[in-house]
Chains A and B, each alone.
Chain A
C-alpha cells in the first residue's frame, strides 16, 4: 500500500544545514512535495519535485530525489530559528486525481 515515512524529530544549531529525510513506497509517484507547518498554523507548500527529476534547488532549499531507493530529502542551508517548524513530505500517486499521501511530519528545532 501507499506509505510515507519520516523521522519525527531533528535538532540543529543555527547556521548549520538541516537535512530532513523521507521514504515512500509507491513507485508510481508523480510528484513529491514538502510542506512546512509553523506552530498553530496550516501547512504551507514549500516546494515540489517531479518524479523524473533528481534535484531541485530554490534559494536555501535543495530537494534530492533517489527514485531507485524511493528516498526524498529536503536540505535547508544556513538554518535559521525561523525555520523551526514541522515539515511534511507528501506524494501524489499517478491516477489518484492528485490526492496526496502525507508523512507524519518531522519537527525541526533550531537552537541558537
Chain B
C-alpha cells in the first residue's frame, strides 16, 4: 500500500514557540493532503485541506494564521503551529489523497494516513 510519513512523531515545546510538522507521501504524488486533529475521545477533526501549489482550505473555526499550511511539492505538506499554547496540545494526523481506480463518474479515492505527531505544549 501507499506510504505516508510524518515528522516528528512527537514534539514537546514551550508555550509561545512555533512547531513545524511535515507530511510526506513516499511512493506516490499527492496533489491534495489533509490535516486532522484527534482529540482524546478519539474523534477526528478535519482542520484543513492542503492543495499543491495553492492556498489551503480551512474548516470553519480553524485559525489559518495560527495553523500555517504549505504544500510546496507533490510529496510534501507542512503544518506549522505558530505561537503554540497548551490548548494546542494534541495528536495531529495528515493524510494524502490518492486516486485508486473506479471510473470518471465514480472515482475510487482513498486517503492514506501518516502515523501522527503528538504535540505537547508546556
Q: Which residues of A contact B (CB under 8 A)?
A: 8, 30-31, 33, 35, 40-45, 48, 50, 86, 88, 92, 94, 97-100, 102, 104-105, 107
Contacts and interface: CB of A to CB of B under 8 A. Distances in A.
A102 B44 contact: yes
19 contacts: A30-B102, A30-B106, A30-B107, A31-B102, A33-B110, A42-B114, A42-B116, A43-B95, A43-B111, A45-B112, A50-B102, A50-B108, A92-B109, A98-B99, A98-B107, A100-B111, A102-B46, A104-B44, A107-B42
Where chain B touches its partner, the secondary structure class is: strand
Interface of B: 1, 4, 6, 32, 34, 42-44, 46, 49, 93, 95, 97, 99, 102, 105-116, 118
A98 B44 CA distance: 17
A39 to B, nearest CB: 11
Where chain A touches its partner, the secondary structure class is: strand
B111 to A, nearest CB: 6
B43 A105 contact: yes
A42 to B, nearest CB: 4
Contacts of A50: 102, 106, 108
Contacts, number: 63
Contacts of A43: 44, 93, 95, 111, 113
A110 B50 CA distance: 37
B83 to A, nearest CB: 26
Most chain A C-beta atoms within 10 Å of own C-beta, residue among B4, B6, B107: B107
A78 B46 CA distance: 33
B44 A88 contact: yes
B110 A99 contact: no
Nearest to A45: B110
Contacts of A99: 34, 49, 97
Contacts of A92: 109
Contacts of B108: 31, 48, 50
A94 B102 CA distance: 12
